[in-house]
Amino acid sequence: MPMPTDHELFDLGDVVLQRGATLRGATLAYKTYGTLNADKSNVIVHPTWYSAWHDANEWTIGKGRACDPDEYFIVVPNQLNNGLSSSPSNTPPPYDGPNFPPVTFYDQVEVQHRLLTQKWGIESIELVLGSSMGAAQTYQWAVSHPEMVKRAAPIVGAPVTSEHNQVFLKSLRAALTADPVFNGGRYSPGALPTVGLRAFARIYAGWGLSQAFYRQREYRRIGFSSLEDFLVGFWEGFWLDDRDPNNLLGMLWTWEHGDVVQTPGLDGDTEAALRSIRCPLLAMPGKTDLYFPPEDEEWASQFIPNGEVRVIPSIYGHFAGLGNNPADNDFIDGALKELLHRPA
Amino acid sequence: MPMPTDHELFDLGDVVLQRGATLRGATLAYKTYGTLNADKSNVIVHPTWYSAWHDANEWTIGKGRACDPDEYFIVVPNQLNNGLSSSPSNTPPPYDGPNFPPVTFYDQVEVQHRLLTQKWGIESIELVLGSSMGAAQTYQWAVSHPEMVKRAAPIVGAPVTSEHNQVFLKSLRAALTADPVFNGGRYSPGALPTVGLRAFARIYAGWGLSQAFYRQREYRRIGFSSLEDFLVGFWEGFWLDDRDPNNLLGMLWTWEHGDVVQTPGLDGDTEAALRSIRCPLLAMPGKTDLYFPPEDEEWASQFIPNGEVRVIPSIYGHFAGLGNNPADNDFIDGALKELLHRPA
């Protein structure tokens, strides 16, 4: 699936990023589903995951689902670095390509907050949800704006990127940048480091799904004829499809440095940041997720006053939370409905 | 630790390999511990793991341990491709470097069988044990020579390399070969593809140990001050230390294609191959091993008439079976002693 074009753009103006750079004339790409009601009380925010665009979240949205556009106004902001919002691939010098500045999850949420408050005057959000890096943004929303967020549902993601997860990310970076065509990020758009991207794809293939997924050759059920077909047809195809390497490394940096402790005023105390979350927060890790294992969510949940963990009983590994398996989607949808019906 | 030099060499002559090539003037490097008794009834065979030399097995050997050289004659054969036995790095043309032919686990065991029978006239083995790729060789010994092997103890390894495990291996190969210095294996010994090897190291770092190992920062207990120190000081150091890339890819091929079904006469039936194992076989997977998870051993064990699985209760992931953690070593040593005391 190539990069979608059915989004709108919000002019952020100048964005002073947490690590120091100012991104001038920055843009946030977003798509909305449904209609904002008169008292602005039907808002759902659903940030995007690594490498994804807004369309990757559409599996959660639809008539009869928890995120029903007949009832809710659902905003899907594209994270900075994903190629639609301001990113290495679409920013002019001096912050173009490999010169694009580092963006934290705190920054991601702040620009989304600007969109909601400045464009629509929204003051309250019924639900923030998101998968993977979207889950990290969900946690960050609950920490940064406890006065706004009424419910939170982070899916297959965490408030702190664990060291083991970081090792996975560092291996992706090392493989991608080993390709000489990458050339410190100064490749030309027509000549991408495809050897590095294919290595990146093979690494991701091992991490994204579980041992049991491969043991049961589950890839056959989703349209791939063999292991090799899955590795090339799905995985290499995915990363070679409009995924700009500098964008990927930009998002990787955000992910690698993920920690709600970076919220200003929380004094470098992760546990205090988690304790500051006021709303009900229902975390849904995947039982067989190799890089966001349920144990990390269970650790975090103990500090969140209204925290709960509900493990997705799936062999789809990390992909349990990305909309690929109908049974997992139903599990998540059921939990979201229950959460939305709770008083907040 | 650089490549050891305290081994002996056995001249294998010409070795006809299973996939067709004949390796002429091949050599098997080995080391022995203890003394062969008069009736040749005290033999233990302990093949090596991926990238390892014989010295990596010495944690299992010692006075008072299961593999006690006062009692047993312990033979540690270095696998082909490991740099001491015939390998890409030490073989003259036409089978030098990237031209070295593929070697199966069946081949590995056959050359070890030659050493035992031709050099010492050994007809019976009290115990074959091995970790990781050594475990695969252990299974293969029990399938290839059921008349000789009285007990088998595969540790953190399997009789069949699972598809998930293959994905991990393919990612290692893709990262190493993405380095242009690799040049199809035609690098010069003085100019190794170190960028590729460092990417290889980062991938391995994520797989070799468990989520819990990193969560508990266990690397601090084994002498590393930080995550970065562990990744560079241990992991990059390990792979940059006398590990020849063509040798690594040769061993990788053996591992990736591991399956006892390749035993001639077993008609392509993995379950039949496992059923043919006569001796008691005690498999010891690691509870948190990411690429040889206990489920794979439990699957295999159901077909082995005298098969048993005892899971190492460790957070050391795959490394639970490589001699790095005293508690795991004790667990394994205790199980080996029990196995050796069983009548066979």
A164, A166, A168, A174: CA torsion to nearest 10: -140
Residue A189: band (very low, low, confident or very high) from pLDDT cuts 50, 70, 90:
confident
B68 touches B338 (CB < 8 A): no
Q: What is the pLDDT of residue B219?
A: 97
Q: Is A289 a catalytic residue?
A: yes
A123 touches A148 (CB < 8 A): yes
Q: What is the pLDDT of residue A340?
A: 97
Residue A168: band (very low, low, confident or very high) from pLDDT cuts 50, 70, 90:
very high
Q: Is A54 left (phi over 0), alpha (psi -120 to 50) or beta?
A: alpha
Residues in chain A with CB shorter than 8 Å from the CB of B214 are 162-164, 167
Smallest Cβ–Cβ distance between A164 and the set B162, B179, B215 belongs to B215
pLDDT tens across B271-280, in order?
A: 999 999 999 9
Q: What is the pLDDT of residue B268?
A: 83
pLDDT tens across B207-243, in order?
A: 999 999 999 999 999 999 999 999 999 999 999 988 9
Q: How far is CA A164 from CA A205, A303, B41, B314, in A?
A: 17, 21, 46, 16
Asked if the Cβ–Cβ distance from B202 to A293 is below 8 Å, we say no
Q: Is it the case that residue B1 has pLDDT exceeding 80?
A: no
The alpha-carbon radius of gyration of chain B (Å, integer) is 19
Is the CB of residue B222 less than 8 Å away from at least one CB of chain A?
A: no
- Taking residues B150-166, report their average pLDDT: 98
The C-alpha angle with vertex B296 and arms to B290 and B300, in degrees rounded to 5, equals 160
Cβ-Cβ contacts under 8 Å between A and B: the total is 110
Residue B190: band (very low, low, confident or very high) from pLDDT cuts 50, 70, 90:
confident
Q: Is it the case that residue A344 has pLDDT exceeding 80?
A: no
- Taking residues B252-266, report their average pLDDT: 94
Strands (E), A111-205: 127-131, 152-155
Q: How far is CA A338 from CA A130, A282, A285, in A?
A: 16, 10, 17
Residues in chain B with CB shorter than 8 Å from the CB of A286 are none
**Structural domains of chain A, with CATH:** 8-162+258-341 (3.40.50.1820), 165-252 (1.10.1740)
Q: Is it the case that residue B267 has pLDDT exceeding 90?
A: no
Is the CB of residue B3 less than 8 Å away from at least one CB of chain A?
A: no
* Mean of all residue pLDDT scores within chain A: 97
Is the CB of residue A220 less than 8 Å away from at least one CB of chain B?
A: no
Alpha helices in chain B, H assignment, sequence order: 105-114, 120, 133-144, 163-178, 194-208, 211-215, 227-229, 237-239, 245-256, 270-275, 294-301, 326-341
**ipTM of this complex:** 0.94
Q: What is the pLDDT of residue B150?
A: 98
Q: Cβ atoms within 10 A of the Cβ of A112, count?
A: 27
Backbone φ, ψ for residue A62 (5° rounding): 165, 165
B289 to chain A, minimum CA–CA distance in Å? 11
Q: Is it the case that residue B343 has pLDDT exceeding 90?
A: no
- Taking residues A76-81, report their average pLDDT: 98
Q: Is it the case that residue B344 has pLDDT exceeding 80?
A: no
Smallest Cβ–Cβ distance between B175 and the set A199, A205, A214 belongs to A199
Residues in chain B with CB shorter than 8 Å from the CB of A167 are 202, 205-206, 214, 227, 231
Residues in chain A with CB shorter than 8 Å from the CB of B224 are none
For B235, nearest residue in chain A (alpha carbons): A167
Q: Is it the case that residue A319 has pLDDT exceeding 90?
A: yes
- Taking residues A195-213, report their average pLDDT: 98
Residue that wins the pLDDT comparison between A268 and A92: A92
- Taking residues A232-257, report their average pLDDT: 96
Taking the C-alpha atoms of residue B312 and residue B300, their distance in angstroms, rounded to an integer, is 17
Q: How far is CA B93 from CA B99, B148, B177, B242, in A?
A: 8, 36, 22, 21
Is the CB of residue B181 less than 8 Å away from at least one CB of chain A?
A: no
For B173, nearest residue in chain A (alpha carbons): A199
B181 to chain A, minimum CA–CA distance in Å? 10
Q: Is it the case that residue A167 has pLDDT exceeding 80?
A: yes
Asked if the Cβ–Cβ distance from B168 to A206 is below 8 Å, we say yes
* Mean of all residue pLDDT scores within chain B: 97
Mutation target to probe the A interface, by most A beta carbons within 10 A, among B161, B168, B170 is: B170
Residue type, A201: A
pLDDT tens across B67-82, in order?
A: 999 999 999 999 999 9
Q: What is the pLDDT of residue B122?
A: 98
Q: What is the pLDDT of residue A47?
A: 98
Residues in chain A with CB shorter than 8 Å from the CB of B210 are 164
Asked if the Cβ–Cβ distance from A295 to B211 is below 8 Å, we say yes
Taking the C-alpha atoms of residue B125 and residue B72, their distance in angstroms, rounded to an integer, is 10
Q: Is it the case that residue A203 has pLDDT exceeding 90?
A: yes
pLDDT tens across A104-139, in order?
A: 999 999 999 999 999 999 999 999 999 999 999 999
Q: What is the pLDDT of residue A98?
A: 97
Residue A343: band (very low, low, confident or very high) from pLDDT cuts 50, 70, 90:
confident
- Taking residues A306-317, report their average pLDDT: 98
Q: Which of B288, B290, B217, B232 is nearest to A163 (CA)?
A: B217
B316 to chain A, minimum CA–CA distance in Å? 13
Residues 6 or more apart in contact with residue B240 via CB below 8 angstroms: B192, B194, B197, B198, B201
Smallest Cβ–Cβ distance between B202 and the set A162, A171, A195 belongs to A171
- Owner of token pair 């190493």: B176
Asked if the Cβ–Cβ distance from B202 to A170 is below 8 Å, we say yes
Cα A240 from chain centroid? 19
- Taking residues A245-270, report their average pLDDT: 94
Q: Is it the case that residue A1 has pLDDT exceeding 80?
A: no
Residue B266: band (very low, low, confident or very high) from pLDDT cuts 50, 70, 90:
confident
Asked if the Cβ–Cβ distance from B202 to A231 is below 8 Å, we say no
A87, A131, A132, A144: which is the annotated catalytic residue? Answer: A132
A201 to chain B, minimum CA–CA distance in Å? 8
Is the CB of residue A194 less than 8 Å away from at least one CB of chain B?
A: no
Q: What are the structure tokens assigned to A292, written together? A: 């966001």
Q: What is the pLDDT of residue A266?
A: 85
Backbone φ, ψ for residue B148 (5° rounding): -105, -35
Residue A268: band (very low, low, confident or very high) from pLDDT cuts 50, 70, 90:
confident
Q: What are the structure tokens assigned to B259, written together? A: 């399956």
